[in-house]
Structure 1
Amino acid sequence: MPSVDRPVVVVAYDDAELLDISCLTSTFSTAGDVGADPTYAVTLLTPGARTITCRPGLRLEAHAALEQHTAAVDTLVVAGGLGSPAAAADPVLVAHVRRLARDARRVASVCTGAQVLAAAGLLDGRRATTHWRFAGDLARAHPAVDVDPDPIFVRDGRVATSAGVTSALDLALSFVDEDHGPVVARRVARALVTYLQRPGTQAQMSVHVAAPAPGDDVVRRVVDHVAGHLDVDLGAAALADRAGVSERHLTRLFRAHLGRTPAEYVRRARTEAAAQLCAGTDVPLARVAARCGFRSTETMRTAFLDVYGRTPSEHRRAFVTAR
């Protein structure tokens, strides 16, 4: 029988996001089913061992009280959810998270659980992420934290933070990979029918969904043209000519409605399209580059390094399905 000596503690509270919690518990539990040795023992802690209410009114029973937990902790994870501001403002909860984190090998948060870690001072001087919608709030409330809203999770030393909800699955899989290697991690991913094990550098949101639909007809027409014609001339002059406006005016519109210049938008759109082809097909990289409008595989490689922090070949290998 496998030995159990990796205690995982998940901290939750009223209005925590159930998916934040279940992605963690299911991943660690499944690891033991597919050959992880040692296995994980997961404990759900809440203030006062109270049963908590998660959306939409589902009630979740705790294993024990946060204040009374004195056993060893290997990995400490704070869940996120709509109740996170209240949790981060609770000095007792924050103090006990800080206490448990002191001797834990790893400390992590999911989604807005980063607010609790930040309130405990555990993110000061570190790079961190959270759900893209709340990244600005975290940065304003905690200027000592280097908030990056883009990745699905960030590791900075022994502290990890992840983006919204299902990114908890990616973070937990990365912990299983670290503890037991990629073979076991891929077995877990396969058992959970999440056949792609996404790396932390993957962006939370693509340019196609990160911002609201452009409120300007000119911007909308140009964006639609870019999406369907990545392999043609999409320079500022060509796009402005197509839109019937000056390059300066088009740039002003793009900055106002999308927060990017036309050139930045086109480069990101091409990179994301190429990433999808690399992840989901065996199309040669030279053809991927041409199909997505890159002048060469080298310019595509540079774009990948800027957006994903790795080459197209490395990106493709990361998305190989478990066999």
Structure 2
Amino acid sequence: MSSFAAPAADRPSAMAGDTPHRVAFLVYDGVTLLDVAGPAEVFTEANRFGADYQVVLLSPTGEDVTSNLGFRVAVDAAVSAEPAAGTYVVAGSSLYPRTPVPGELADAARVPAAGAGRVASICTGAFILAAAGLLDGRRATTHWKVTHELAARCPTCRVEPDAIYVRDGTTYTSAGVTAGIDLALALVEEDHGSDVARDVARALVVYMQRSGGQSQFSAPLQGPPPRSSALRKITDLVTADPQGNHSPGELAKHLNVSTRHLTRLFHDELSTTPARYVENIRFDMGRALLDQGHTATQAAALAGFPSYESMRRVFARKLSISPAAYQRRFGTARRANAG
């Protein structure tokens, strides 16, 4: 079994400065390795540019843990044995969106958080913060796939599904695994200013601040099918032929109902309007076509948008980037490597 630990040379000792800023990561069996390694790399890299972070890895019992990749993670100490951290970071795992968070793990987040200067979670680490009661009444985010589950488990928490990271007072939450790097850079900037954070971003060859939100990384919209067969007939029609005339009036004719009644059906079952549903289907189709290598103009026409400009406006509203920028960032590797 392989092992992972921050190199000793990269861990400043308590004597490295007058008051080193302790960054403690809570790790446990099944922890996502990148949730730890990515942000830890940001903090240790920042030390090369004048910061003074002391990164330590803690587990509930002080015993080494096994990551999601099967690597052994060498732990510095038990949570209870360590002094208060300046920043306490709870890494995520694929386990806890699927199962309840054990009480001892929730305690391992709750108790140190009380003395920490700030508390952060990476990806699904938000579920551990929620189980510890640390997200009650707060804004938060997590990976886009499980934002609904987080909202269900923490009903007093206002989940922001499209955010890369969210700050609410001294509590920080971030989205999917690499968003932990974004959050760590933001914390470095908060501590040492934009110049140091920019130097770290350049050294690690990552964005200083990514444009847009999680939507640009998510899979196409695949909500639950409508309960009623009548509305399912309409959604199937739109999905099968996004280029068709799907104005609310035309869709209502397929069911022999009024536009007002159709709008009510969409609102009650899908929490949207007919026009917005059609737009979402066309957006998903356009994005898939861009991924396949079609030009933006071709994608707009094939997806059923009246014009490229109309598709551009939808992309700008949903992703905060243009179709061309989206394609440069996420276009198929086959196309990029052709020849």
Same fold (TM over 0.5): yes
The aligned counterpart of 2:297 is none
Determine whether 1:178 maps to 2:190. yes
Determine whether 1:220 maps to 2:239. yes
The aligned counterpart of 1:64 is 77
TM-score, structure 2 normalization:
0.66
Equivalent position amino acid for 1:152 in 2: I
For residues 192 and 236 of structure 1, the distance between their equivalents in structure 2, rounded to whole angstroms, comes to 49
5+ residue gaps, structure 1: 227-232, 277-289, 317-323
Deviation at 1:41, TM superposition (A): 1.2
The aligned counterpart of 2:22 is 7
Deviation at 1:196, TM superposition (A): 5.3
Equivalent position amino acid for 1:109 in 2: S
The aligned counterpart of 1:282 is none
TM-score, structure 1 normalization:
0.69
3-state secondary structure, aligned to 1:170: helix
5+ residue gaps, structure 2: 1-11, 226-231, 291-306, 326-339
For residues 192 and 104 of structure 1, the distance between their equivalents in structure 2, rounded to whole angstroms, comes to 27
Deviation at 1:98, TM superposition (A): 1.8
The aligned counterpart of 2:123 is 111
Change (3 A) 1:142 1:245: same
For residues 255 and 205 of structure 2, the distance between their equivalents in structure 1, rounded to whole angstroms, comes to 48
Deviation at 1:123, TM superposition (A): 0.9
Determine whether 1:17 maps to 2:28. no
For residues 238 and 223 of structure 2, the distance between their equivalents in structure 1, rounded to whole angstroms, comes to 12
Determine whether 1:27 maps to 2:42. yes
The aligned counterpart of 2:165 is 153
Deviation at 1:185, TM superposition (A): 1.6
Flag the structure with larger Rg.
2
Residue in structure 2 matching 1:293, options 307, 310, 316? 310
Deviation at 1:97, TM superposition (A): 2.1
Q: Which has the higher contact order (CA 8 A, sep 6+)?
A: 1
Deviation at 1:266, TM superposition (A): 6.5
Equivalent position amino acid for 2:119 in 1: V
Q: Percent of aligned pairs with the same residue?
A: 40
Q: Which whole-Å deviations, capped at 9, do the CAs of 1:167-198 have from their partners, x for residues lacking one?
A: 11111111112112222222222222223522
3-state secondary structure, aligned to 2:207: coil
For residues 173 and 210 of structure 1, the distance between their equivalents in structure 2, rounded to whole angstroms, comes to 30
The aligned counterpart of 1:202 is 213
Residue in structure 1 matching 2:94, options 82, 90, 97? 82
For residues 204 and 123 of structure 1, the distance between their equivalents in structure 2, rounded to whole angstroms, comes to 23
Change (3 A) 1:182 1:126: same
The aligned counterpart of 1:230 is none
Q: Which whole-Å deviations, capped at 9, do the CAs of 1:240-287 have from their partners, x for residues lacking one?
A: 59xx898969979988998744533576777x98xx9xxxxxxxxxxx
3-state secondary structure, aligned to 1:185: helix
For residues 279 and 44 of structure 2, the distance between their equivalents in structure 1, rounded to whole angstroms, comes to 41
3-state secondary structure, aligned to 1:160: strand
For residues 45 and 90 of structure 1, the distance between their equivalents in structure 2, rounded to whole angstroms, comes to 17
Aligned residues: 276
The aligned counterpart of 1:211 is 222
Q: Is the 8 A contact 1:73 1:105 kept in 2?
A: yes
Equivalent position amino acid for 1:30 in 2: E
Deviation at 1:213, TM superposition (A): 11
Deviation at 1:217, TM superposition (A): 5.4
Equivalent position amino acid for 1:292 in 2: E
Aligned counterparts, 1:267-306, within 5 A: 291-293=308-310, 304=317
Residue in structure 1 matching 2:56, options 33, 40, 43? 43
Q: Is the 8 A contact 1:16 1:84 kept in 2?
A: no
Comparing 61-70 and 10-19, the one that deviates more: 61-70
The aligned counterpart of 1:135 is 147
Change (3 A) 1:59 1:261: farther
3-state secondary structure, aligned to 1:187: helix
